[in-house]
């Protein structure tokens, strides 16, 4: 079995549903996600951040994903999330990933174009697809924090120029989502007219939505019930994500919701079983919590069951 690219996945999904891209950091997270996708017969993107590569090491993640494909029989795309420079993208292309993201969104437009083009040329020469980003999301990713006032929405004309000049295979855009658990102050709002315009100006071209966790209140509540202290968390309402999936958004990135589900489960187990110290005892329900969360996303948010 070998990893698959997103080309066919996105072609099939366009305008109908979105494929989930879930962040992975260890074996239990990979197993929980893959079990859910297998049961739902869903297309699947597993994504690895620079932080995840540092935590678990590239080779461990690679081998775990290889094992997951062999064990489940599922086609999986393995994607680099938020590649910051050419070197990290090259290292993931050379190291066997089937997709990479070059995130040049913090650079001025011309620099972003030049950097993205450089990655596209290299990745395409090795048969690997590339996601670019234009516009700036607020929130925390790796050690980078972008304040809400520094976030900038994607300009539709620039998006067309960016895609044309770089040759990227998909584009992450900023329409109001943000990374982490604190996405909105007050009423959640996404700029759907902007998404509609970008999709109309780039017909059939796959759009990506980052920062798309919903931050379900029951998981925040459970974390807090068992010793956590998470205040004012708010995510993207599920109906907004369902709508985006019919408007040209082919890939929806989810990490925070998995973190919350896993942490709520571990907290609950340890508080309820103070005498236990076998990691398998608290990681088994945590893995199950990841599976349930991903299954919910696939069925009720992404609408991609039975599309593998």
Asked if 268 interacts with ligand G3H (CB under 6 A), we say no
In angstroms, what is the minimal distance from the CB of 136 to ligand G3H?
A: 13
Q: Is 94 a catalytic residue?
A: no
* CB burial readout 146-177, b (16+ within 10 A) else e: beeeebebbbbeebeebbeebebbbbbbbbbb
Strand partners, 63: none
Q: Is the dihedral of CA 259, 262, 264, 266 positive or negative?
A: negative
Nearer to Zn ion, 210 or 259 (CB): 210
In angstroms, what is the minimal distance from the CB of 73 to ligand 13P?
A: 26
Q: How far apart are CA 118 and CA 112, in angstroms?
A: 10
Asked if 142 interacts with ligand G3H (CB under 6 A), we say yes
Q: How far apart are CA 56 and CA 75, in angstroms?
A: 22
Point out the catalytic residue in the list 81, 155, 255, 257: 81
Pairing of β 144-146 and β 138-141: antiparallel
Q: How far apart are CA 244 and CA 263, in angstroms?
A: 28
- Per-residue tokens: 100: 């990479």
Q: Are 175 and 140 in contact (CB under 8 A)?
A: no
Mask: binding to ligand 13P, 240-269, rule CB under 6 A, as x and -?
A: -------------xxxxx------------
| Of 5-13, 34-42, 188-196, 209-217: span binding ligand 13P (CB under 6 A) | 209-217
Mask: binding to Zn ion, 207-226, rule CB under 5 A, as x and -?
A: ---x----------------
Nearer to ligand G3H, 202 or 254 (CB): 254
Q: How far apart are CA 98 and CA 186, in angstroms?
A: 39
Mask: binding to ligand 13P, 12-31, rule CB under 6 A, as x and -?
A: -----------x--------
Q: Are 72 and 43 in contact (CB under 8 A)?
A: no
| Of 7-15, 46-54, 237-245, 278-286: span binding ligand G3H (CB under 6 A) | 46-54
Asked if 104 interacts with ligand 13P (CB under 6 A), we say no
Nearer to ligand G3H, 6 or 14 (CB): 6
Nearer to ligand 13P, 41 or 54 (CB): 54
Q: How far apart are CA 46 and CA 293, in angstroms?
A: 15
Nearer to ligand G3H, 172 or 202 (CB): 172
What torsion, rounded to 10 degrees, do the Cα atoms 204, 82, 197, 147 define? 170
- Candidates 68, 130, 207, 212; binder of ligand 13P (CB under 6 A) is 212
DSSP 8-state secondary structure symbol assigned to residue 136 = B
- Residues contributing to the site for ligand 13P (CB under 6 A): 23, 81-82, 179-180, 210-213, 253-257
Residues that bind ligand G3H (CB under 6 A): 23, 49, 51-52, 81-82, 141-142, 179, 255
């Amino acid at each position: 079995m070998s990893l698959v690219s997103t080309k066919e996945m996105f072609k099939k999904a366009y305008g109908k549903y979105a494929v989930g891209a879930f962040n992975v950091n260890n074996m239990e997270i990979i197993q929980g996600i893959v079990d859910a996708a297998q049961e739902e017969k869903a297309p699947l993107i597993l994504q690895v951040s620079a932080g995840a590569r540092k935590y678990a090491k590239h080779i461990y993640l690679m081998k775990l994903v290889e094992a997951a494909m062999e064990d489940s029989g599922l086609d999986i795309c393995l994607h680099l999330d938020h590649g910051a420079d050419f070197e990290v993208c090259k290292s993931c292309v050379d190291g066997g990933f089937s997709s990479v993201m070059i995130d040049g969104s913090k650079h001025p437009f011309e620099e972003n174009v030049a950097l993205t083009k450089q990655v596209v040329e290299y990745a395409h020469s090795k048969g690997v697809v590339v996601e670019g980003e234009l516009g700036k999301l607020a929130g925390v990713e790796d050690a980078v924090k972008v304040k809400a006032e520094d976030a900038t929405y994607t300009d539709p004309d620039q998006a067309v120029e960016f895609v044309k000049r770089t040759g990227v295979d998909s584009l992450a855009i900023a329409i109001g989502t943000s990374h982490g658990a604190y996405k909105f102050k007050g009423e959640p709002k996404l700029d759907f007219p902007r998404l509609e315009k970008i999709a109309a100006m780039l017909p059939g071209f796959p759009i990506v939505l980052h920062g798309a966790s919903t931050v379900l209140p029951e998981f925040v509540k459970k974390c807090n019930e068992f010793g956590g202290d998470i205040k004012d968390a708010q995510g993207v309402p599920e109906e907004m994500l369902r709508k985006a999936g019919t408007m040209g958004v082919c890939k929806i990135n989810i990490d925070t919701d998995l973190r919350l589900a896993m942490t709520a489960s571990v907290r609950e187990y340890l508080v309820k079983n103070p005498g236990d110290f076998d990691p398998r005892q608290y990681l088994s329900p945590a893995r199950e919590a990841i599976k349930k969360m991903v299954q919910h996303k696939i069925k009720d948010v992404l609408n991609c069951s039975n599309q593998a």
